[in-house]
Amino acid sequence: MAVGESSLTRTYGPLLTMTLEEILASGLIQDNVFNMAKTLAWFRTGNRIKVLQGGERIRIPVLTGTNGTFKWYSGYDALNITPQIGQTTAFYTWKQAAVGIAIDGLSLRSNQGPAQINDIMTEKVRQAELSLGDGVATGLFSDGTASANKQLTGLQAAVDTTPANTSYASIDPADNSSWRNRSVASVGNAAANLVSNMRNVYNSCSRGSEGVASSPDYIVTTQTVHEALEALIAPRVRYEQNPSGGADAGIDTLKFRGAEVVWDDYAPSGTMYMLNSAHIMLFVHGKANFAMSDEGFQKPIDQDALVANILFQGNLAVNNRRKLGVLSGIS
C-alpha cells in the first residue's frame, strides 16, 4: 500500500513516531510479549535469546562425530595425526513478522496534545503486544510450514516426532544419526505409560559427558498432560519455589529429575518436549527485535490514517538435537 506526504503526516507523524520510539526503547513490548507464554518467558531468562546484527542466515556450528585420533603411546611411537572432520554447519533462515499500528485521522484530530496522543498509543501498543505474543508463541511450537513456510521454524521441526525422516537446518538426519533428537511416539494412556517413557527420553537425552549441561532442564507440555503427571506422582512429587521473583514469586514448580515441568497454552495436544537450555536458543536480529519500521508513521494514499509497523526477525536454533526429546500421542 503506497504512502505519501500529507498534512496529517506532517502534523502528527513525528509525534507518533517519537512516542512509539520511546515505548520501544523502554523494552516494555519485549517484556510483555515474552511473558505472554511460559516457554517464551523461559527463553527470555538464562541468556537463551541471542541477538545478531547481520548475516543472510543464522549459522550454528554442529559436532557430528568424535575425534578419532586418541591413542595410548610410549616413547617414540607415531601419533595419530589423521585429519578429522566431525563438524558441519546448521543454517537457519531468518523468519520475519510484523504487526501494524494504525490510528485514524478522526481520532488524531479529536485528541490533540502529547498526553492524549500517548493515551491512544498506549492502547494501540497493547493490542500490538497481544498479536505479537500470540504470533511468536504459536510459531515457537510450530513446524514452520504455515504462511507458505514463512512462520518461525519451531519445536515441531526442531524436536521432531520422526527425527530420522526430515531434513532440519540444512542437515539430513537420514545421513547423520547425531542430528536426531530423542523421540517416543504413541505413548498412549498417561496413567500406564507416561512416567516410564519420560524416564526413557530423559535418560537418552542425558547420554554423553557434558556434565550438568548434559540433561534436560525444562519440560513443557499441555495443561491436560501436566495435570495427569502431577496426579501420577503426587505421593512423591517434588516442588520447588520459583526463583524468578516478580509477580509469580512463591508459585511452586513441578520437577522431574531436576528439570522444571510446566504447561504452556501453545503446546500441541498430547505432546511433551524435553529441552536443554545449553543446546536450544532463540535468535533475533538486532535491527528487528520488536523495532519500528524505519519510515515511522506514514499515511496510506487511500486512507485517512497514519500507520507504522513493529518488526520481528528471528528463528529458533539448535546446536545438538540429541540433547532434546519429545513424547507424543499422550492420552
Q: Which three cell numbers stand for residue 209?
A: 559427558
Residue 160 DSSP label: -
Helix (H) or strand (E) holding 285: strand 280-292
Mean pLDDT value across residues 126-135 = 91
Query: Which amino acid belongs to residue 261?
Result: V
pLDDT band at 240 (very low <50, low <70, confident <90, very high): low
Residue 197 pLDDT > 70: yes
Query: Which amino acid belongs to residue 209?
Result: S
pLDDT band at 203 (very low <50, low <70, confident <90, very high): very high
pLDDT digits (tens, 9 = 90+) for 115-128: 888 888 888 998 99
Q: Got the DSSP string for 199-242? A: HHHHHHHT-SS-GGGGS--EEEE-HHHHHHHHHHHGGG--EEE-
185 in Cβ contact with 329 (< 8 Å): yes
pLDDT digits (tens, 9 = 90+) for 146-162: 999 999 999 999 999 99
Q: Which residues pair with 298 in a beta bridge?
A: 307
pLDDT band at 248 (very low <50, low <70, confident <90, very high): very low
Residue 80 pLDDT > 70: yes
Instruction: Output phi, psi for 110, to 5 deg.
Output: -90, -10
pTM: 0.87
263 in Cβ contact with 317 (< 8 Å): no
Q: How much is the pLDDT for 253? A: 73
pLDDT digits (tens, 9 = 90+) for 97-112: 999 999 999 988 888 7
Q: What is the number of helices (H) and of strands (E) in the chain?
A: 9, 15
Q: How much is the pLDDT for 84? A: 77
Q: Of 236 and 222, which is predicted with more confidence?
A: 222
Residue 179 DSSP label: G
The span from the CA of 264 to the CA of 84, in Å, is 42
The span from the CA of 326 to the CA of 330, in Å, is 11
Residue 46 pLDDT > 90: no
Instruction: Output phi, psi for 302, to 5 deg.
Output: -105, 20
Mean pLDDT value across residues 200-229 = 87
Lowest mean pLDDT among 177-191, 227-241, 245-259: 245-259
The span from the CA of 168 to the CA of 162, in Å, is 12
Which residue bears the cell 497514519? Answer: 306
In the CATH scheme, what is the code of domain 3-64+88-327? 3.90.1690
| Sequence ranges of the domains in the chain | 3-64+88-327
Helix (H) or strand (E) holding 9: helix 7-25
Lowest mean pLDDT among 2-11, 159-168, 215-224, 266-275: 2-11
Q: Which residues pair with 49 in a beta bridge?
A: 282
Instruction: Output phi, psi for 203, to 5 deg.
Output: -65, -40
Q: How much is the pLDDT for 246? A: 40
Mean pLDDT value across residues 198-212 = 81
Strand pairing class (218-221; 239-241): unpaired
